A = this chain, B = another copy of it.
């Protein structure tokens, strides 16, 4: 292990250069215009894995390609672990809020700023570098590893489940390792044991067949933007609770022990308020911000579009209005049930003066893994060794839909070992990744294979 750790230490500057190269691909999976960028990014990753001595394969799918890379296999059955990551990124808009261009990585001190730096290129790249250290120093890797790097995580991972089913035998493994979550502070490593699920939909209200002159026709026809406002307004009550009937029916309440554990994490409500830049916090009555973001479900409007949006004014009654919506789910809410309940409620609230169209989007169930299991305990030991600190147990508010697919298809639990700090700005302008976390993540990965191999 000494050789591996020394190799990692000696090669940080080159690793950072390589990561910057990876970050320059504008691999925005939601925007069809970026399809070639996703293909180029996947090809670069495949080539890079081969240079590290991995057996890498660029696998086409109906969407964006999946990069599959295997460490050199030895004779005999050994423990097998799968490392998952995604090379696609969120749209960078609004561009004007970026302090440097999103796809031109900028380094300030120990911070690397670029779209995808934390979510997720920097995090899976740390695992690749740990494996490079084993291979290049001729150190025996005590288990078999397979990297699965996909390009559709930000748009619902449509191609991954069929890919897992198709390659089920080859990918069957003892556990899946994902670094795509957060850690509470630079010196506070974390194992995330629960994730929120998600359900997304788009609702459009159509009124008049075209935009109307608001002087000539205004007052005699429903304004779709007003109808949408009144509809959305009814989806959440004054106490911050979602009004969809049955929405909370399957929500598992936090145990007193869990609430106590959450309170031990660093950070204050006032610090949270300042960090978000809001005049006052808001959320479901009776819960702390940490509880609200990790253990309670939500109804969020991600976007509103209607009528004239240009400079100046345009005196119209718009022909239509649209909202993009996501709901975050917690154990044991089921995405299909919540989608069904949300659509039924929207339909019930829709006035007869407009036509409603609902486009259901992707969904993912929430996830919970027992922190007392052998793999989780091995991961906690690796975190301790790499960070020289006692790791914390966390819930996280985000969703990693494919965790459920790994369980269903490969029968494997997932270890969530996140390396992103709370101010990483994932999905926001000025996304960033801490270079100390990058280095510690490589060490953690190096130790992890030792610890996990012992569990067999």
Q: Which residues of A contact B (CB under 8 A)?
A: 29-32, 90-91, 93-94, 97, 155, 182, 196, 198, 200, 202, 207-223, 225-226, 228-230, 232-236, 272, 276-284, 289-290, 292-293, 296-318, 321, 323-324, 326, 328, 351-355, 361-362, 396-399, 422, 425-430
Contact call A428/B307, Cβ cutoff below 8 A: no
Contact A314 B90 (CB under 8 A): yes
A214-B328 in contact (CB<8A): yes
Residues of B within 8 A of A236 (CB): 226, 230
Residues A284 and B318 in contact in the complex (CB < 8 Å), given A301-B225, A310-B91, A426-B213:
no
Contact A302 B324 (CB under 8 A): no
Q: Tell me, rounded to whole Å, the shortest Cβ–Cβ distance linking A92 to chain B.
A: 10
Whether A216 pairs with B353 at a CB distance below 8 angstroms is: no
Do A280 and B353 touch (CB < 8 A)? yes
Contact status B198-A215, CB under 8 Å: yes
Q: Which residue of B lies closest to A224 (CB)?
A: B301
The main secondary structure of chain A at its interface with chain B is loop
Residues of B within 8 A of A309 (CB): 303, 305, 324
A429 to B352, CA, bound (A): 25
- Residue from the list B198, B293, B429 in contact with A216, Cβ < 8 A: B293
Q: Are A427 and B304 in contact (CB under 8 A)?
A: no
Cβ–Cβ < 8 Å partners of A216 in chain B: 182, 293, 396-398, 422, 426-427
Shortest distance from the beta carbon of A57 to any chain B beta carbon, whole Å: 27
- Of the candidates B198, B292, B427, which one forms a contact with A211 in the assembled complex, judged by CB atoms under 8 Å apart? B427
Nearest chain B CB to A192's CB is how many angstroms away? 12
CA distance A283 to B223 in the complex (A): 10
* Interchain CB contact under 8 A, A315 and B326: yes
Chain B residues within an 8 Å CB radius of A283: 219-221
Chain B residues with CB below 8 A from A91, complex form: 308, 310, 312, 314
